Amino acid sequence: MSPSAPTSEQSPVVTSVVSDHPIEPGKVRAATLVDDDAVRTVCFAIDAGEGLTEHKAPHRIVITVVAGAMEFTVGDETHAMVPGDVVNLAASVPHAVAATEPCHFLLTMVKSV
């Protein structure tokens, strides 16, 4: 089950994140699972060798690796990440992602507390 951006009045249960969002060769795919006034959660499916160049998020983000492996770079530090690893990053901090093998991760942007 993969809902399309539920509102804050809904309480969706999202399952099968990996199978519902397959990795495509040479691609970075993003699917919004939840988007309301408080949070936005996006599932990323990234093929090995692909990634997101350095960028900033306007809000605090929490990233959880679900499957595969990736490198998460903040400043001069690169962290190898595997399923179960979590990053908690303040707003406006430059960062980048590179999949070292086909990878799924969830990004939750905390818009308000």
CB atoms within 10 A of CB 110: 15
Interatomic CA distance for residues 67 and 57, integer angstroms: 23
Is a pLDDT exceeding 50 seen at residue 1?
A: no
Q: Higher confidence at residue 8 or residue 106? A: 106
Q: Where are the domains of the chain?
A: 17-110
Rg over CA atoms, the chain: 14
Is a pLDDT exceeding 80 seen at residue 11?
A: no
Structure-token pair, residue 68 = 């595969």
User: Roughly how many angstroms between the first and final C-alpha of the chain, as a whole number?
Assistant: 27
Superfamily of structural domain 17-110: Jelly Rolls (2.60.120.10)
- Predicted TM-score (pTM) of the model is 0.87
* pLDDT value of position 7: 53
Residues in the chain: 113
